[in-house]
Amino acid sequence: MRTIGLIALMVLGSANAGFAHELEPHTNGAVWTFDPWIVVPLLLTAGPYGIGSMVLRQRTRSGSQFHPWRNFAFVAGWLTLVGALVSPLHWLGEHLFTFHMIEHEILMAISAPLLVLAAPIGIWLWSLPRRYRFTVGRFLRRPVLVGCWQWLRTGRNATLVHGIAIWAWHAPVLFDAAVTNIMLHRLQHLSFLMTAIVFWWAVLRNNNAGLAAWHLFVTMLHTSVLGALMALAPRVLYQAQTATAADWGLTPLEDQQLAGIIMWVPAGTIYAGAALALLTIWIRQSGAAGRQRDAFSAS
């Protein structure tokens, strides 16, 4: 308990230091952001994943249940989170709307699907001692948690919740507030990432590939509309976010337009590509099912 208390005091102390640093003007160029509220969770997900992977590989015969591609997906997803939240990209995002939008799209359209493909929860559990592993497993199977997850993971609900998070946080008043308030900024990133994970889980783990493709298409459509509204707006909507655009050779309106185009085109392309891939899978599955029915009828 003393050790836990000491660690908690260290984290809180470094968090206050990070908060104070965030309020200071940045004058030395792009820097890495070592915010403990970001770095500590990243370390607490990477460490147990590495331990769990080694334990699982040792306990299974010849690694029969060990899937290297899942490790690759987790590492790639984790590194993109570091790139978005810790690397100089995060610092640039505080000064230019364009880079802030790139940061958000990495979280929602790249990191989230990679982490879903990795399915790390089981491996995290294997990093725990046997007694704690079963305790956590029983807790995760509690009816309330299972019921909430079952509601969230349906394609319709996941698409709706993720869409609400995107549109709500991009309301100019709330977005500018997140830029100037570090706690809101953290909450914004957390809600983007978590709702995106739920959304991609509902899409990639859906047995009906055609329905999953539809939800991707809907998300592509409404995010493209939001991006177009930003890009085509005749005036600046995000005053605080674009306040320092002139320091980078852009007008505030140009910064906003570039950010809107990034949401509109590159991010929309990712959703469209995933939708087309799932649509192809659905067509192949439908064709195979049709051939099986024809063969059964002929026999």
What is the pLDDT, as a whole number, of residue 292?
62
Is 17 a domain residue?
no
The reply to whether 143 falls in a domain is yes
For the chain, what's the residue count?
A: 299
Kindly list the distances between the CA atom of residue 273 and the CA atoms of 153, 216, 270, 276, 278, in Å, as whole numbers in the listed order: 22, 9, 5, 5, 9
Contact 71, 53 (CB under 8 A): yes
Report the run of H or E that residue 296 belongs to, with start and end. Answer: helix 266-298
In the prediction, which pLDDT does 5 show? 36
Q: Is 62 left (phi over 0), alpha (psi -120 to 50) or beta?
A: left
Q: Is residue 1 part of a domain?
A: no
Task: For residue 18, give the amino acid letter.
Answer: G
Q: Which two tokens stand for residue 250?
A: 């852009």
Which of 202, 218, 212, 216 shows the shortest CA–CA distance to 153?
202
Q: What is the residue range of 75's domain?
A: 32-288
CA distance 147 to 127: 26
Domain assignment present for residue 18? The answer is no
Distance between CA atoms of 97 and 178, rounded to whole angstroms? 12
**pLDDT value, residue 77:** 96
Residue 246 per-residue DSSP state? G
Residue 48 covered by a domain: yes
Residue 9 lies in a domain: no
Number of domains the chain contains: 1
Is the separation of the CB atoms in 31 and 91 below 8 Å?
A: yes
Per-10-residue mean pLDDT of the chain, 299 residues long, equals: 32 36 47 92 94 82 65 95 95 94 97 95 89 88 90 92 97 95 95 97 88 95 97 96 95 97 95 94 77 57
- Do residues 267 and 221 lie in contact, with contact meaning Cβ atoms separated by under 8 Å? no
Longest dimension (CA), the chain: 78
Residue 202 lies in a domain: yes
Residue 76: count other Cβ atoms within 10 Å of its Cβ.
Answer: 16
Residue 272 lies in a domain: yes
* CA distances from residue 236 to 3, 221, 252, 253 in whole angstroms, order as listed: 50, 23, 7, 5
Helix (H, G, I), strand (E, B) or coil at 3: helix
